[in-house]
Every structure is written in structure tokens, then in C-alpha cells.
Structure 1
Amino acid sequence: MLWFLVIGLVAGWLASQISRGSSFGLVGNLVVGIIGAYLGGLLFSLLGLAAYGTIGSIIMSTIGAIIFLWALRMVTGRTPAK
């Protein structure tokens, strides 16, 4: 469980850096990363892909978190901070 939270935190932070948005803080990045992990896992399984190991989990979670942040910005109408 602790490892899942660490991966979620890293994925949330990476997604906020890649998508040029501001960080949501420790708890916000953790939530974004955990939602991204679920979304990434769902998308990977739909595409017939699998993530192995810690690096694979971080990549999958980060991809899911980026998609989640994109969808969140589409709904809220906010643009990324520059």
C-alpha cells in the first residue's frame, strides 16, 4: 500500500511537470497520481499492454495522470500556468 502511494505521488508530480501546470501540492499530486494509476491501468488493459516493475508502473500512472489532468482542464476551462 505504501509503495502504491509513493508511485502515485511520483506520477502526479511528473504529470504536473509534463503538462506545464502548477503543482497541486503533496496531497493533490498524490490524488492525481492515484487516479492516473487507475486510469492508466484501464487504458493499458484496453490496449492489451502491460506495465512491469516500478518504472513501468510509474510510466503507466504518469500517462493516466496526464490524461486525467487534460480532462480536468477541459471540464474546468483552466489553462496551464506558464
Structure 2
Amino acid sequence: MLGLIISIIIVGLIAGFIARAVIPGKQDMSILMTIVLGIVGSFVGGFLGFLLFQHDAMDGFFQPAGIIGSIIGAIIVLLVYGLVRGRGGAARRRS
């Protein structure tokens, strides 16, 4: 169980770091938030993989993905986060 948790954290860190490197601009995130980004991205990647291929090794709807799926999911999460955060910031500046 401890090995699973450590591997999820490591994959989350790698996926979050690569996603932050791929997306242009500055993201003000700590290491912990980068890990959370990668972990959430892993589940998003697993969900999208299930939707695209309709089956997986665990045969579940909500699951973690491999490293490639985690990176793709983290990029998607970071893009959505940037859009939501950008809109909120623009609305606050106009007021």
C-alpha cells in the first residue's frame, strides 16, 4: 500500500512538472500543487482513456492512467485551470 502511494506521488510529480513545462506562461504553483495537478491529471487521463477505448486493464470507469495518460490529463487540467483563473482575474480587474 505504501509503495502504491509513493508511486502515485512520483508519477503525479513527473506528470505535473511536464505539463507545467509544456504549457506556456507562468504558473504560480508549489511542489505540492504540482503533485496534485499530476494526480488529478492521472485520473482525467484514465477517464478519457476509458471513454476512448471503452475498456481497460482494471475494467473501471474512474481509474488512474499510465504516465503518458497522466501527462495528457495534467495538460488538460492545467489548461482548464488557466482558463478559469484567467476569466476570474479579468473580471476582478474590470471591477
Q: Aligning the two structures, in what range does the TM-score lie when normalised by the shorter sequence?
A: 0.7 to 0.9
Q: Which runs of 5+ in 2 are unaligned?
A: 58-64, 88-95
Percent identity over paired residues? 38
Query: Judging changes above 3 Å, is the alpha-carbon distance between structure 1 residues 45 and 19 closer, same or farther for their aligned structure 2 residues?
Result: same
TM-score (norm 1): 0.79
Q: Which runs of 5+ in 1 are unaligned?
A: none
Provide the aligned length of Structure 1 versus Structure 2. 74
Q: Who is 2:50 aligned against?
A: 45
Q: Quick one: which amino acid aligns to residue 7 of structure 2? A: W
**Larger Cα-atom Rg:** 2
Aligned-residue CA RMSD (Å): 2.1
Q: Who is 1:58 aligned against?
A: 67
Q: Quick one: which amino acid aligns to residue 74 of structure 1? A: L
TM-score (norm 2): 0.69
Poorly superposed stretches of 4+, deviation over 3 Å: none
